[in-house]
Amino acid sequence: MTATTIALLRTKPAQFEPAAVRTALREWAFNKNQRAAAPGDVAVILKWVERNSLPVSAWEEPDKVDEVLRALDTLLDGRQAAAWSRKRHRRILNVAMKHSIRRRILRANPLPKGKETTAATKTTNAVDKRSLVNPMQAAALLDWIRLRPRGGKRLHAFFATLYYCGPRPEEAVAMRVEDVTLPDPDSGDQWCELLIHTATPEVGKQWTDTGKIHEERDLRGRAEGETRTVPGHPALTRLLWRHIEDEELRPGDLLFQGERGSVLAGSVIRRAWRSARQAVLTAHVFESPTG
CA of residue 151 relative to chain centroid, distance: 23
Burial status of residue 155 (CB atoms within 10 A of its CB: 0-12, 13-18, 19 or more): buried
Sequence-separated (6 or more) residues with CB below 8 Å from residue 35: 28, 29
Give the pLDDT of residue 277: 97
- Name the nearest CA neighbour of 170 among 84, 244, 270, 26: 270
Q: 200 with 121: CB under 8 angstroms?
A: no
Give the pLDDT of residue 118: 45
Give the pLDDT of residue 93: 94
Q: What is the mean pLDDT of each run of 10 residues along the chain (291 residues)?
A: 93 90 91 85 92 93 93 91 89 93 93 61 72 94 94 94 94 95 90 92 74 78 87 96 94 91 89 96 94 92
Q: What is the pTM of this model?
A: 0.74
The sign of the CA dihedral 161, 166, 168, 171 is negative
Tell me the helices (H) and strands (E) count for the chain, helix number first: 12, 3
Give the pLDDT of residue 119: 47
**Which 8-state DSSP code applies to residue 50?**
H
Give the pLDDT of residue 114: 58
Give the pLDDT of residue 35: 84
